Amino acid sequence: MKLFTRLSVSVVLASGLLLSAGAFADSKSLRPEVGEPLQAAQQAMQAKDYKTAQAKIGDAEKVGKLTTYESYIIARMKIAASIAAGDYNSAIPAYEQAMASPEFPENEKVANLGMLAKLYYGAKNFAKAADTLQRYRAAGGTDSLTLDLLPQTLYLSGQYAETEKELNAQIAQLEKSGQSPTEMQLQLLQSCAGKLNDTSGYVAALQLLVTYYPKDSYWADLLARVANKPGFSDRLTLDVYRLKLKLGTLSAAGDFVDATELAAQAGYPGEADTFIKTGYAKKALGVGAPNDVDRQKRLQDLVTKKIADDKATRAQDDAAAASQPTGDTLVAAGLNYVGYGEYDKGIQMIQQGIAKGGLKNPDEAKLHLGYAEVLGGRYDDAVKVLKTVEGNNGTRDMAGLWMLVARRH
């Protein structure tokens, strides 16, 4: 998170902290006993002998009974020499002194507040850095690289709620302008939520991470958070596996076996076949202990038999589903077609089932319609239906995750 460790002399020069030789020739402002050691200090600065420069500036300071202008010039020289020497602890009070002087040019204050904030950051005084950055912004500072330091300084000073607020504002502004937040901004937001035990904020940060930086680790964390929420229904375990399969994050042999068994038990042999074949293709299945390999082979044979049985009776089953007074059987039949990759037919049947009504779990039906539309490449339609999914048993959460997938396309 540390952005710099030393300010270069070129930065100091650019910020106008070194004074021209003419400044010392102004006899009405600097007495010789002050101006001469400062001239020597400037010569030492030009020779990159910063310790000598600091000593000469100290000599000028010891003259005593300094005028306001002399104190101001000495402070500015001290800033320049101290920064060049990497001595931030000496530069900071000199900076504060110079900026508090009536001699300090008003038109330089905003830029120098930004520089002072960076000095505090370099000195690891993060609370003061945050405070100075807020002063910089309030004074009209707009440099994005400077303002980007504010969340970091707030975070490093332990002000997690303030960090979260600042990051959310920055991210909202970026998104409004069509830009993407950085991964570091989102990681910082996630960390703040964790520090604050803000579960909803943590999940929201993860949702942003998988939207802009869809790494497997972020998806795994997000899915685990959703699936482990209190009240999450066991009925949705297969839906979790479906999402993992779509994301390509299903990898453990036990998960492939569980997903295959759940799909087969639910009456979706085509989907069960996809799970088990993917497991073999990824070499998660068919390897390992002989007993495990035998069990996996028996499961595959069972799925093959269920597919044959299902296809033999499908026409009759479809007719029976259509004749039912409620739409549950039609939804299940449509989802079965989806499992075979027959998305158009499956989507149509699920829609018919929802339209018929009388559903035991209408939100699950809509969730499954959205899932089917994602698999079928109907991403806009998927988002529309998934937005309507309610339920505090996990259906709304799963719908939200599928919307994230749909919006990636």
Return the structure tokens found at 1: 């998170």
Quickly state the pLDDT bin for 4 (edges 50, 70, 90): very low
Q: What is the pLDDT of residues 224-253, one digit of tens each?
A: 999 999 999 999 999 999 999 999 999 999
DSSP 181: P
Q: Distance between CA atoms of 401 and 336, rounded to whole angstroms?
A: 22
CATH number at 377 reads 1.25.40
Question: How much is the pLDDT for 20?
Answer: 37
Number of domain units in the chain: 3
Q: Based on the fold, state whether residues 308 and 341 are members of the same structural domain.
A: yes
Final residue in a domain of this structure, among 104, 127, 157: 104
Q: Are 198 and 164 in contact (CB under 8 A)?
A: yes
Q: Based on the fold, state whether residues 209 and 344 are members of the same structural domain.
A: no
Residue bearing tokens 């299945």: 285
Q: Based on the fold, state whether residues 339 and 399 are members of the same structural domain.
A: yes
The answer to whether residue 44 sits within a structural domain is yes
The answer to whether residue 288 sits within a structural domain is yes
The answer to whether residue 221 sits within a structural domain is no
Q: Based on the fold, state whether residues 241 and 382 are members of the same structural domain.
A: yes
Q: Based on the fold, state whether residues 201 and 245 are members of the same structural domain.
A: no
Q: Based on the fold, state whether residues 21 and 76 are members of the same structural domain.
A: yes
Q: Based on the fold, state whether residues 89 and 179 are members of the same structural domain.
A: no
Q: Distance between CA atoms of 105 and 15, rounded to whole angstroms?
A: 13
CA nearest neighbour of 340 among 379, 301, 314, 317: 314
Question: How much is the pLDDT for 16?
Answer: 44
Q: Based on the fold, state whether residues 302 and 375 are members of the same structural domain.
A: yes
Q: By residue range, what is the domain housing residue 208?
A: 165-213
3-state secondary structure of 390: coil
Quickly state the pLDDT bin for 409 (edges 50, 70, 90): confident
CA nearest neighbour of 266 among 361, 384, 176: 361
The answer to whether residue 399 sits within a structural domain is yes
Q: What is the pLDDT of residues 345-386, one digit of tens each?
A: 999 999 999 999 999 999 999 999 999 999 999 999 999 999
The answer to whether residue 119 sits within a structural domain is no
Q: Is the pLDDT of residue 274 over 90?
A: yes
DSSP per position, 10-72: HHHHHTT-SPPGGGGG-TTTS-HHHHHHHHHHHHHHHTT-HHHHHHHHHHHHTT-S--HHHHH
The answer to whether residue 13 sits within a structural domain is yes
Q: Based on the fold, state whether residues 252 and 385 are members of the same structural domain.
A: yes
Question: How much is the pLDDT for 55?
Answer: 95
Average the pLDDT over 142-171 and give the result: 95
Q: Is the pLDDT of residue 26 over 50?
A: no
Q: Based on the fold, state whether residues 205 and 248 are members of the same structural domain.
A: no
Q: Based on the fold, state whether residues 209 and 309 are members of the same structural domain.
A: no
Q: Based on the fold, state whether residues 239 and 204 are members of the same structural domain.
A: no
Question: How much is the pLDDT for 183?
Answer: 96
Quickly state the pLDDT bin for 205 (edges 50, 70, 90): very high
The answer to whether residue 74 sits within a structural domain is yes
- Residue 193, judged by CB atoms within 10 A of its CB (0-12, 13-18, 19+), counts as buried
Q: Are 268 and 339 in contact (CB under 8 A)?
A: yes
Average the pLDDT over 196-216 and give the result: 94
The answer to whether residue 306 sits within a structural domain is yes
Final residue in a domain of this structure, among 81, 104, 127: 104
